[in-house]
Structure 1
Amino acid sequence: MPSFDLTKEPWLPVICLDGRLEEVSLTSLFHRAHEIRHVIGQTPPMTAALHRLVLALACRVYQPLDSNSWTELWRNERLPTQQLDDYLLKHPGRFDVFDKQRPFFQCPAVATVAASSAAKLVPYRSTGNNTTLFDHTTSRDEIMLAPAEAARWLVTLQAYDPGGLKSPYTKEKSSQAAPANWFGMVLVEGSNLKETLLLNLMPYDPDGEQPRNTFPKDRPVWEADPPAPEPDKRHPLGWTDLLTWPSRRVWLAHRQVGDQTVVDRVVITPGTRLEAAPEDNEWMAAYRRPEVRKGQKSAAAAGWYPIRLRDLRGVWRHSRELFLAPELSEERRRQRPATLDHVARMVGRKVISDDAVYTLRVFGQQLDSKSTVVHQVLEEAVAAPVALLKAAHQVAGRIIGHSIELADQVGSALNQMEREYRAELHGSPAAPSLELAYWPSLAVPFDRFLWDLAKALEADQSPTKATREWADDVRRIAEDAAKRWAESSPRQGRNLEVAGACYGRFVGLLGHHVNAYHGFIARYVA
């Protein structure tokens, strides 16, 4: 029988600190984590899924029961190797993709179902009625995946496969979209992979039910027996169970081509449906409650909504939800990733420096309204000065909130200018949407604003300089977008007259919003 053991064979794509791109085994990844910059997948969902898998393994190997044991790991130059080696000895063969009895992340019982092309594993491949824009694969093309590539897509599929109809084992065809589709996965990234793993590795103690809703029976998928072939539904046993959730029953069919083993066919059937509220179980996501509406008793009545990536507007607009603790005076309306609560505790204990700045990488996948087709995959990043994670800076939330509101109001004013122009000319064509010229340009200035705000608050200084520079950046970017829009309008007759009038009203509204912003900020810096 062929073998492809993920603990021994290179399959994880990484970028080293010197810039080299390599593929490494799971064992090498942990042994060399201090020399690796980060894991990088072929797509953002693959990058996210591989990190979740590696994090689940780190939880089981190191099991930092409390802040003291985590601190010891953090202060070591490299991750301990003996604990990893001991763990793998206790679970031999559990990471072999082609093991006959326990193939990694698979269900050998579904091997009796008619297999499809291996293209089913790869989202951008066109198979059957699942057409894609750029792929030109036809039903006659034979897709053969190397074991390393098949393993990467297998892990990605379990985390990000869309819902809809799948090949049934017996009768059940319907499947729930895999869990990671419903939120933007937040990864705290350090200067190397060792730091990144630990920054996302909260204290893990199933017997002590840490993190919350993790119980003594918690285990990752490779420690469990292969699942029954029929789909089921249940609550997660804990954090590593959720990180390796078996959303599909899969079988990788392989054969020999010369001296190489290839995966050319695959069986994918419905798997385990998740019966749990994300905000009570998923700790690498941020959540918010909407504003309390008239007639509602509390924000709690509106429920939680996970922060998700949107095209153009940028994840930085959710900075309050992403890394600020709830303000003591307000009803709980936001919940940052629990991993950042852990980082904040380490800052409070002086294990992590107050002036450290990490990166929050956020990964997401957008599905259609029926959750069956992938519309787009997204990855964004926002700077996270750890000084803002501390609960002591309650004013930070209000300042950041008004700063984001300024960007929203100015963006709305730009859209209003364009709508008025179209309305007055009865639908006459105008320049392309202003959103593309405005929103993406704000990401870098907002990162700088957060960093300047953190430095000012940490030094007990006025944040006025940071807020004024942010307002200037918003004004400049909006004015540039509006000027280009006005100049691109037809330079004749009524078109030019209407464009000038709409532009003039926008400039007045822009000044009003900026002045109002400075007035709001003055309340907190007096």
Structure 2
Amino acid sequence: MGGAPEHVHCHGSARRLILHQRAAGRPRRVARGLLRLLGDRVSFPLTTGAWIPVYDHDSRTFREVGLNEALLAAHRLEFTGRGQEGAVLLRVLLAAFDAAAGPVTYEEWVAAWQAETLDAARITAYLEQWEHRLDLLHPQHPAFQCGALTDFPRDARVLHPSYLGGAGGRMLSEAFRAEEGRFPAWEPGQAARALLVLIGYDVAGIKRAAPGDRTARAGKVYGSHTGAVAQVSHVNIVGRTVKDTILLNLPPQPRRRGDAPVWERTAPAAPMAVRQPVGRLDVLTWPGRRIRLRTDSEGRVDRVARHDGDRMPDPWRQLAEFDPLSLWREGREGGLVPAAITDSHGVLVPWAAARSVLDPDGEEGGTPGYSGVGRHLARILDEGWMADYGPVRVEASATLHTTPHKSVISDVSAELVALGTGGFLTARADRSDLAAAARTADVYLARLRAIVKEVAPAHHPRMADRIDFMPLHGRWEKAAGVLASDPVQGRRLWRADLGAHARQVLEMLPLRLDERARAEVLAEEALPIAEFTGNVTPSHDRLRHLVSPPRRPRTKAPRTGRPTLRALTAYGETKSLAQWAKDPRCQVSYPTLRARAAAMENGQDAESILTTPASRSRRPALPEPAAVIPAPRAALCKGCGMPVTGAISRCEECRAKRVTADWLYRKEIAEVIFSPAKRAELLRRLAGGEALADACIELDLTPHRAHGFAAYDDDWRGQLDDALTVGRDPDLDHGTERAYRYGGCRCPECRTAHDAVSATSR
């Protein structure tokens, strides 16, 4: 931000006059004043202005282009947008091309894929037709904005992505330290990208009511939704050029009646509206906020109006239907729910992103789901249209919110995940192997958690939820690359990585010798995986939730990469186990059906395993003891000779000897329960304004644990007090018992006041 505008356009004689005045050394305000007198205006057409980041393969430079050049020269440009900006810019590129010359059938898609360039004639005609509606600074209908807004109560800081992170996010940016009205203005190209990010990722909660909004209460609107992009996880295929990226992420389909991008629609009124999306173009450019930008005398954006916009009545169902970049899975009660590709710590898991694209239907033993991009890629690969293509990568992203009502964004996790070359992925068996390897990682993690939960000490039952799986993330790409060239070696390498990680986890856990020995025995029996499979059905009593059942003897051709027991023939029909589990004739769940199919002997009736209800047999009764065994004699303490009433001696001499060892043991356990990542997340939540009790519930902690960690870290008390002070409610009267008791504030001043009141009442 700052400096003279590079791509702000003026019109007619006014522009020539401005250039003459600047050449004469006159102040810019004089030129701008002449501009107003002549009735001319400042504009920034998104069709020709520089605002989309690309890499030019001809000039070998990174630069910014407009929509015209991005689409007409798509065969020699590479899209370099990543993260939040990349997600929203790609949606605009997809919508613009789809509206101008999008393929309707796969025959048209193949023709576009094999052509050297995109359809230049149709694209040029379309962008010329709608160029006036793609002007960022148009006085009546500015692009992606609401022209009916004329009051600009906020300065330019609202456009900064850190603004969506609450107080904690703003602490990371020095620009937010500026006073209201002194935030640096945005150049038009930067403002265009920031505007799309704000529309796609804006948080939920209370918004300032737009003029004329009948739903307003005391000047505010309640219950606004998060931006359409921030509601679910997304994946998109990263092509070598803009042309490849657009076609790989745009499944061909006819345009629905009434479906249109936002620039083709009538300018929306200022008040919030609830309406159903019409189709893909509508969802890709969904106007979830009413925003208007105001420029200063230099043509830079310095003020913003922001209000709630269009709301979907059932956003999950409509996004799953129309958004090809979103990820979904089957819910427990039917229907589709957003699929998670992050772990319990909010870190994006690369093999989960790969599996969502390679196995969207859950055929490798996972939960059936839906991915429009995944199914589109499968069709392309099955037809062999990418047999000569180089490396294929996907960019996955997920939005993490600090609070359950999604009023603050804590992070937008994004990562590039390599899948392999187009030639490797063309073979369905090789794709299945890679998807099965990804599913194997999930099986391994579930078993490792079960082992740790089995041997965890009684005083720490949640130790399994705090295992660090980050070391495996970097090893996945290497294993996937080896698997693409040598499947046998790739499997061996991936299993070795999983085993090494298991040993590392078990060695770092604060376990006693007997607990560690038991964990090693369970790991030897449960963790080895002979083949890539998603089957985790129990087979015997000792490790019922850890070990897969015995496999059916192989009677057919050797395995070619796809898992066995995929299909079942019954009632004259052959369907997958997942499909049979949904069939009304099936009386058992999918795990039970898979277990029965795995153990089914030759000649067994397939209909019987479908229709026989599941039953749980009674546990055998324990035999009565033959005789009463006398209690053993009480043990004596080796240090003082006194009888030991519990596990250890309680005499003062022995307790004094154990002080240091006990403190170190408790510190080790505390650091496992309250890991550095948990501590950082707690500080971030508290600085963002979340109450200590709520933050501890979300992180599976207690306030006592949060305060008590100061016994093991001298700096922790100061860090915790600083975060509580930054995020406290400014409307409360701090330093009073009322703020502590009724306001829920736990800042140092309120705690001191509460302690004083408690001391006087005792």
TM range, smaller chain: 0.7 to 0.9
Please tell me whether the aligned partners of residues 447 and 526 of structure 2 are also in contact (alpha carbons under 8 angstroms).
yes
CA distance in 2, matches of 1:127, 1:502: 42
Gaps of 5+ in 1: 207-214, 291-298, 457-462, 490-497
Contact 1:324 1:389 in 2 (8 A): no
- 1:10–1:24: 8 Å Cα contact kept in structure 2? yes
CA contact (8 A) 2:206 2:221 kept: yes
Give CA-to-partner distance per residue, 1:187-240, whole Å, 9 cap, x none: 11122222111101211311xxxxxxxx22111001112101111111111101
Cα distance in 2 for partners of 1:357, 1:22 equals 24
CA distance in 2, matches of 1:128, 1:217: 38
CA RMSD for the aligned pairs?
3.4
In structure 2, which of residues 204, 213, 221 is the aligned counterpart of residue 173 of structure 1? 221
1:468 corresponds, among 492, 498, 506, to 492
Q: C-alpha displacement at 1:282, in angstroms? A: 2.1
Residue 124 (structure 1) aligned with residue 162 (structure 2): yes
Q: Which amino acid aligns with 1:145?
A: W
What is the aligned counterpart of 1:510 among 523, 529, 536?
523
Matched to 2:417, the amino acid is V
**Aligned in 2, Cα 1:407/1:15: closer, same or farther, shift over 3 Å?**
farther
Aligned to 2:419: 384
One-letter amino acid matched to 1:95: L
Partner of 2:55: 15
Match of 2:280 in 1: 239
1:378 aligned partner, one-letter code: S
Aligned to 1:308: 340
Q: Which structure has more RCO (C-alpha within 8 Å, separation ≥ 6)?
A: 1
1:269 is matched with which residue: 296, 299, 307? 307
Q: Which residue of 2 aligns with 1:494?
A: none
Question: 1:3, 1:96 within 8 Å by CA — same for their partners in 2?
Answer: yes
Q: Which moved more, 1:245-254 or 1:29-38?
A: 29-38
1:25-40 pair list within 5 angstroms: 25-40=66-81
Deviation, 1:410, is 2.5
CA deviation vs aligned residue, 1:455-489 (integer Å, no higher than 9, x gap) = 67xxxxxx655433321111123324544x36xx7
Verify the 8 A CA contact 1:399 1:521 in the aligned structure 2. Answer: no
Deviations 1:308-339 (A, max 9, x none): 34223614235443321536799x95233212
Structure 1 residue 98 corresponds to structure 2 residue 133: no
- Report the Cα distance in structure 2 between the residues aligned to 1:313 and 1:92, rounded to whole angstroms: 39
Name the stretch that deviates more: 317-326 or 265-274.
317-326
Question: d(CA) in 1 for partners of 2:350 and 2:400?
Answer: 14
Larger Rg: 2
Q: Is the 8 A contact 1:246 1:272 kept in 2?
A: yes
**3-state DSSP class of the match of 1:515?**
coil
Select which of 342, 351, 373 maps to 2:408: 373
Match of 1:409 in 2: 447
Using the TM superposition, give the Cα deviation of residue 344 of structure 1 relative to its aligned residue in structure 2, in angstroms.
Answer: 2.0
Within 5 Å, which residues of 2 pair with 1:253-402? 253-256=294-297, 260-276=298-314, 277=317, 278-289=319-330, 301-310=333-342, 311-312=346-347, 314-317=349-352, 319-326=354-361, 333-353=367-387, 357-367=391-401, 368-385=403-420, 396=433, 400-402=438-440
Match of 1:420 in 2: 457
Unaligned 5+ runs, structure 2 = 1-40, 532-547, 560-762
What amino acid is the match of 1:369?
P
Following the alignment from structure 2 to structure 1, what is the Cα–Cα distance between the partners of residues 381 and 437?
22
> In 2, are the aligned partners of 1:221 and 1:244 still within 8 Å (CA)?
yes
CA contact (8 A) 2:146 2:269 kept: yes
Shift of 1:454: 5.9
Alpha-carbon distance in structure 2 between the residues aligned to 1:507 and 1:329: 29
Query: d(CA) in 2 for partners of 1:56 and 1:316?
Result: 29
Contact 1:325 1:389 in 2 (8 A): no
TM-score normalized with structure 1 length: 0.80
Match of 1:296 in 2: none
Which segment is superposed worse, 274-283 or 515-524? 515-524
Matched residue SS, 1:266:
strand
Cα deviation code 1:268-321 (max 9, x no counterpart): 01100013413222221221125xxxxxxxx5x343221234223614235443
Q: Aligned-pair distance for 1:148?
A: 0.9
The DSSP-based 3-state class of the residue aligned with 2:307 is strand
Q: Which amino acid aligns with 1:338?
A: G
Alignment of 1:44-63 (within 5 A): 44-63=83-102
1: CA distance, partners of 2:505 / 2:167: 41
- For residue 245 of structure 2, the aligned residue among 161, 181, 196 is 196
Does the Cα contact within 8 Å between 2:164 and 2:409 map onto a contact in 1? Answer: no
1:441 aligns with 2:471: yes
Change (3 A) 1:466 1:236: same
Q: Distance in 1 between matches of 2:305 and 2:426?
A: 45
Query: What secondary structure, in the 3-state scheme, does the structure 1 residue paired with 2:324 have?
Result: coil
Q: Distance in 1 between matches of 2:247 and 2:170?
A: 38
Q: Distance in 2 between matches of 1:407 and 1:355?
A: 33
Whole-angstrom CA distance in 2 between matches of 1:389 and 1:381: 20
Q: CA 1:474–1:19 in structure 2 vs 1: closer, same or farther (change >3 Å)?
A: farther
3-state SS of 1:150 partner: helix
Aligned to 2:44: 4
Shift of 1:74: 1.1
- Percent of counterpart pairs with the same letter? 22
Q: Is the 8 A contact 2:357 2:375 kept in 1?
A: no
The one-letter amino acid paired with 1:515 is P
Q: Which amino acid aligns with 2:476?
A: F
* 1:177 maps to amino acid: T
Contact 2:397 2:413 in 1 (8 A): yes
Q: How far did 1:123 drift?
A: 2.6
